[in-house]
Amino acid sequence: MSEELKLSVLNKLEAEGSIADTKTAFADVSAETILGALKSLESQEKVTYKTLTTEVWTIESEGQEMLENGSYEARIFDAVPAGEQGISVAELSAKYGKVASLGQGTGFKNKWIKKNGSNIVRLVDSIVDQVKIDLETVKATGGHTNNDVIKDLKRRRLIKPNKTFSYAVSKGANFSTEIKKQATDLTVEMLQSGAWKNSEFKKFNFDSLGVSPNGGHLHPLMKVREEFRQIFFEMGFEEMPTNNFVDSSFWNFDALFVPQQHAARDLQDTFFLKDPAVANGLPAFWETVRDVHEKGGYGSIGYRYPWSIEEAKRLVLRTHTTAVSSNVLNKLAQQPYRPAKYFSIDRVYRNEAVDATHLAEFHQVEGVIADKNMSLGSLIAFLDIFFQKMGITNLRFKPTYNPYTEPSMEIFSWHDGFKKWVEIGNSGMFRPEMLRPLGLEEGVQVAGFGLSLERPTMIKYGVDNIRALVGHKVDLGMVQSNPACRLDKKMGKEVFQPTAIETDN
């Protein structure tokens, strides 16, 4: 349709040189449709056009009703039977309501009817419904030659002034009667085939406004992440770079003294990469790592199994951010000794069955503290302060096992809503079998801890299904309308549902 219209505009220009007014040339096409066609032709420089504005009168809804049924006064005249008797005022108003009261007045003025006692009778035999005729004229021509008619119809709110647009069209610089589809981009295929030589390209429109940018909204996970970051910064931590989501098994496991037979290194638990499947190389101290696994050292007898370099080279989606911590601790060890505090908050991946509270990916909040003369007591004291800043007091610790920490402790806090102790994190003192090969000198201890970002976020924002928080089912309205997060203040929304407490570790 629009292609047809464009062609007939071009053909008319070809035949007549110009189009004085599209309103007459294309009487049955709406101004919007014409404008669409002209804009498109103008962008190809086939035509130029000027907008013509015409003042017109259009019919209001009451006028429209009169066009269909006659003016009130004519309808009332018709309702009055000829003869002395006429019709009673009461009956007329019962039958015609508002039309009766308005129509009578004008009927009296026009001397079509008159009152006779409580009745209304005709004064003339027939009438001409001039108002209806005038409205028909206005509808057909947009106005009336008699200005008094316009004034009267306007006063009665039967018509209103309006503007219509039409266009005067001339040939453009690139005029032809043929329309080629214009290319918007120069593509590789066009260059290869040579098609670009005969292509017509769409001009850039530097006047277009572009897509207006939407205000950004932080995802709840990022709000909580920001709160954690501030707590870490407040406590003197440096942020670790976590932009390597793929790492070698070496950094993710071996450097952490996780034996190569450990269950976590199974296909069922870890995502291994197919292509590329292995890391290009390992850091120089890999042999030290091998030795500590095979033979032990630093007071340990090791695991006593043949360590495989191929296994260590296998690339994985990192299963914990401790893979980053081992890397950063190794860098720290290259410099003259200094105590250090590092944190990271980023995504990790586990090949796990997904359910309402678990996905195959989640965020870990992790901190490591390297210092001399540190004990488990130092770690406990630190965790007390750290969690206090989130409004969590009264921690309890339970011994657990991590290949890279000894002792290791699960962190529990009392949950007022659930009325029970809830696991909120994992922690421990890194083993010398991990720290010494990384290059950290004797006497330097490192404490570490980790927790998930999702669990506190779900509790804070009252989300009880992880799929409502992460993934393609997330409601963007939820992201836009959620309040800022304060970890140390109750937000009123926090849910107390058992699903929210399951552990990610």
From the list 6, 46, 293, 320, which residue makes contact with ligand PHE (rule: CB under 6 A)? 320
Query: Least distance to ligand PHE from the beta carbon of 275, Å?
Result: 26
Pairing of strands 420-430, 444-452: antiparallel
* Residue linked to tokens 């630190």: 382
Decide if 26 contacts 174 (C-beta within 8 A). no
Residue 326 burial by Cβ neighbours in a 10 Å radius (0-12, 13-18, 19+): buried
Judged by CB under 6 A, does residue 432 bind ligand PHE?
no
The CA-based angle 12-17-21, given to 5 degrees, is 65
Rank residues 122 and 363 by Cβ distance to ligand PHE and give the closer one: 363
CB 479 within 8 A of CB 220: yes
Give CA–CA dist 397/407, Å, rounded: 11
Q: Is 248 in the site for ligand PHE (CB under 6 A)?
A: no
Site size toward ligand PHE, by CB under 6 A: 12
Choose the binding region for ligand PHE from 25-33, 383-391, 425-433, 458-466 (rule: CB under 6 A): 425-433
Binding mask 341-370 for ligand PHE (x = CB under 6 A): -------------------------x----
Residue 404 Cβ vs ligand PHE, minimum distance, rounded to whole Å: 7
Q: Return the range that interacts with ligand PHE (CB under 6 A); candidates 25-33, 66-74, 129-137, 423-431.
A: 423-431
Helix or strand (DSSP H, E) at 54? strand 47-59
Q: Which of residues 65-94 bind ligand PHE (CB under 6 A)?
A: none
1 in helix, strand or coil? coil
The answer to whether the CB of 155 falls within 8 A of the CB of 131 is no
CB of 345 to ligand PHE, least distance (A): 13
Cα(381)–Cα(235) distance, rounded to whole angstroms? 13
The closest alpha carbon to 408, from 463, 447, 365, belongs to: 447
Closer CB to ligand PHE, 300 or 400, in the complex:
400
**Spatial separation of the C-alpha atoms in residues 292 and 290, rounded to whole Å:** 6
Q: How far is the CB of 235 from ligand PHE (least distance, A)?
A: 16
Question: b or e along 252-263 (b: 16 or more beta carbons within 10 Å of the residue's beta carbon)?
Answer: bbbbbbbbbeee
CB of 412 to ligand PHE, least distance (A): 15
Q: Strand 47-59: give its sheet, edge to edge.
A: 18-19, 159-171, 47-59
Residue (101 or 505) nearer to ligand PHE, CB = 505
Does 327 sit near ligand PHE (CB under 6 A)?
A: no
Least Cβ distance, residue 323 to ligand PHE (angstroms) = 9
Nearest to ligand PHE of 107, 450 (CB atom): 450
Q: Is 251 in the site for ligand PHE (CB under 6 A)?
A: no
Token readout for 310 is 């191929």
Binding track, positions 438-467, relative to ligand PHE; x by CB under 6 A: ----------xxx-----------------
Site for ligand PHE in 373-412 (CB under 6 A): 402, 405
Residue 13 or 256: the one with the smaller Cβ distance to ligand PHE is: 256
Binding of ligand PHE by 433 (CB under 6 A): no
Minimum CB separation of residue 325 from ligand PHE in Å reads 7
Pick between residue 382 and residue 449 the one whose CB is nearest to ligand PHE: 449
How far is the CA of 34 from the CAs of 7, 8, 26, 156, 170, in angstroms?
Answer: 12, 11, 8, 34, 14
Residue of 312, 285, 289 lying closest to 302 (CA atoms) = 289
**Stretch touching ligand PHE by CB under 6 A, among 58-66, 156-164, 278-286, 421-429:** 421-429
CB of 243 to ligand PHE, least distance (A): 18
Contacts of 417 (CB under 8 A, 6+ apart): 494, 495, 496
Comparing CB distances to ligand PHE, the nearer of 169 and 374 is 374
Q: Smaller CB distance to ligand PHE: residue 351 or 505?
A: 505
Binding positions for ligand PHE, rule: CB under 6 A: 320, 322, 366, 402, 405, 426-428, 448-450, 505
